[in-house]
Chains A and B, each alone.
Chain A
């Protein structure tokens, strides 16, 4: 499913070199739910960006679904992002001028799905996150929890094999966090692989496996005992 081997990432800014990942290897099998934890600056965001095909690795290998994506061009990576990966961000990242329905339809616009099918699939995805009302409203007119549910609907609408969630509950209160985690667990139960960055142990406990990072390396990798199941 996801296999990275000895991956490094070096950022260059003029004279200064910053090594964000120092030879990380990780293997995630289909259907897993992995929480990546660690202090800020440990490289977990860099890892997520690389896994999300938003950035290219400096050295090492990245195999996604049997395909070596470490050598792909920008446009080829965009295609992978569109088809294989669903993103859920801490700050939702919905387009403010579009309606909720249009936001969910957008990945399919770039995939070239015809308008009628787009509508049907977007409605279906919204139903899966329990959001069938206010779909003609704009993101600013709904609550934070609802916004994150829209973002999840957008992430799953192209039926990706993996969802990458970067602090998905970071901007939400406890009650809403539970709601969002329930949806993510449901999706995982249905077979979607989930990778989630978080620094909250409570949230990480919803996952099946925890990977701990520090200073650009994986320092710990273990299954979750006493997992919170909703």
Chain B
């Protein structure tokens, strides 16, 4: 007697008790679908975060100044940044990030501005994508040229057009303003918001050389945050350590542990770790419902064995061996669990997309998740089916034949 025969027989038996079979499956369906939904949302979250980090740069290290211990003389200057790039062998890019709130005025309009200053490396470090024009170069940085790159939404709002390269713009505070030439327009990075809100309400995002920014606002020109990018994954750590050493030498503050180098990927690992633990925990809770579903399968199979005692007797009388009967009932419970598992998978994926669209996470369904779901539901079928199947297989043929 082969497997096909068994499967056919099991399907016929499941089909003849449609409602009961479905209700039995329901436990498995709920269990599998909740596990799938939780896991694929969790993995989706991890993927999104990883993707964001990789966009910023897998080799990026953030150098920070511990402001609780630091004095003003310990802050990182533009000259420090220049030295970092020139003296430390593994550093490919280095830029401070200055962030200042200000004003931007075109002939048409005045607007709140969010101004970001750095070296020309900011372009690579921040992975800026331009729709028009170019980023400022080293020369413009060195000379502190009044050039600016503005966001797409700012261009639309200030000039009522998109390609505004070559236009002039007054940028600054209420007290001091300077005329800038727009040399580039950034592709919209936060499209989700610009679709929903009027771009007039969004602040203009403006990039300019840190040197220019320094002049414009009359700042001291030192920062607590510098991003460096190592030339390869292997050198991330060395680049960070060497950078800290160089800064300590330049500021003569060795031993006070003012500077800290933190690879962004390390932060990612931490976040993913937390998210992973959370996902596992919720999935484990969901898996308990799968256990309950398995008990449901066992319960119904026991009822089925009792109901079909006479059938088992007849089968044994005409030559079914213990293994035949065992296998027949086991096949039935595995098929019930497997169909439940497949339906659960479908509902789980649907649920993950449904919940994901509400929560703003795109779920990630890995082949591993799918395979594990199917294998796990078969395992539930075997585990909870074995006892009823053995009970059936061990029935005494004469007593089974007498059963009414």
Binding stretch for chain B, among A28-36, A72-80, A179-187, A213-221:
A72-80
B residues contacting A by CB (< 8 A) are: 1, 5, 12-13, 16, 310-311, 313-324, 397-398, 401
Please name 5 further chain A to chain B contacts, defined as beta carbons within 8 Å, in addition to the given A49-B398, A79-B321, sorted by A numbering.
A81-B316, A81-B319, A83-B319, A95-B315, A107-B319
- Please name all residues of chain B whose beta carbon is closer than 8 Å to the beta carbon of A106 when the two chains form the complex: 315, 318
**Does A87 count as interface, using CB distance less than 8 angstroms?**
yes
User: Nearest Cβ distance between residue A98 and chain B, in whole angstroms?
Assistant: 8
Please state if A110 and B319 are interface contacts (CB–CB under 8 Å).
yes
Say whether B314 contacts A93, CB under 8 Å: yes
At the interface, yes or no: A121 with Cβ under 8 Å from chain B?
Answer: no
Q: Across the interface, name the chain B residue whose C-beta is closest to A97.
A: B16
**Docked complex Cα distance between A83 and B12 (Å):** 26
Q: Does A55 belong to the interface (CB within 8 Å)?
A: yes
**B residues in contact with A75, CB < 8 Å:** 321-323
A66 within 8 A of B: no
Q: Take A52-B317, A83-B319, A87-B317 as given contacts and tell me if A110 and B16 are in contact as well, using a CB distance cutoff of 8 Å.
A: no
Those 9 A-B pairs whose CB atoms lie nearest each other, nearest first: A82-B319, A110-B319, A78-B321, A107-B318, A75-B321, A93-B314, A54-B397, A81-B319, A110-B320
Residue A201 lies at the interface, judged by CB distance under 8 Å to chain B: no
User: A95-B311, A109-B1 in contact; A81/B322 too (CB < 8 A)?
Assistant: no
Q: How far is the CA of A157 from the CA of B77 in the complex (A)?
A: 98
Which chain B residues border A49 with CB–CB below 8 Å? 398
Residues of A within 8 A of B318 (CB): 81-82, 87, 106-107, 110, 154
Q: Is A229 an interface residue (CB 8 A)?
A: no
CA distance A178 to B16 in the complex (A): 36
Q: Given known contacts A95-B311, A110-B324, A112-B1, is B13 in contact with A78 (CB within 8 Å)?
A: no
A74 to B5, CA, bound (A): 23
Interchain CB contact (< 8 A) of A111 among B315, B319, B323, B398: B319
Chain B's interface: helix, strand, loop or mixed, by majority? helix
**Residue in contact with B320 in the complex, picked from A52, A78, A89, CB distance below 8 Å:** A78
Show 14 residue pairs from A and B whose CB-CB distance is below 8 angstroms, ordered by the A residue. A49-B398, A74-B321, A75-B321, A78-B320, A78-B321, A81-B316, A82-B319, A87-B318, A93-B314, A93-B317, A95-B311, A97-B12, A97-B13, A112-B1
Known interface pairs A95-B311, A97-B13, A110-B324. Does A78 touch B316 (Cβ–Cβ under 8 Å)? yes
A201-220 near B? 1/0 per residue, CB < 8 Å: 00000000000000000000
CB neighbours (8 Å) of B315 from chain A are: 95, 106, 110
Closest to A110 in B: B319
* A154 to B317 Cα, complex, angstroms: 12
Instruction: Tell me the bound Cα distance from A74 to B323 in angstroms.
Output: 11
B319/A54 in contact, CB under 8 A: no
Specify the chain A residue showing the minimal Cβ separation from B5. Answer: A109
Name A93's closest neighbour in chain B (CB-CB).
B314
Cα separation A110 to B319 with both chains bound (whole Å): 6
For the complex formed, measure the closest distance between the CB of B318 and the CB atoms of chain A, giving whole angstroms.
5
How far apart are the CA atoms of A89 and B321 in the complex, in Å? 20
Residues of A contacting B316 with CB < 8 Å?
Answer: 54, 78, 81
Interface residues of A in 22-49 (CB under 8 A from B): 49
- Beta-carbon contact of B314 and A55 below 8 Å: no
Residues of B contacting A52 in the complex (Cβ-Cβ under 8 angstroms): 317
Residues of A within 8 A of B5 (CB): 109
CB atoms of B319 and A78 under 8 A apart: yes
Scoring A55, A74, A94 by chain B CB atoms within 10 A of each residue's CB, the highest score goes to A74
Instruction: Tell me the smallest distance from the CB of A141 to a CB of chain B, in Å.
Output: 15
Q: Are B321 and A55 in contact (CB under 8 A)?
A: no
The distance from the CB of B326 to the nearest CB of chain A, in whole angstroms, is 11
**Contact indicator A54/B322 (Cβ below 8 Å):** no
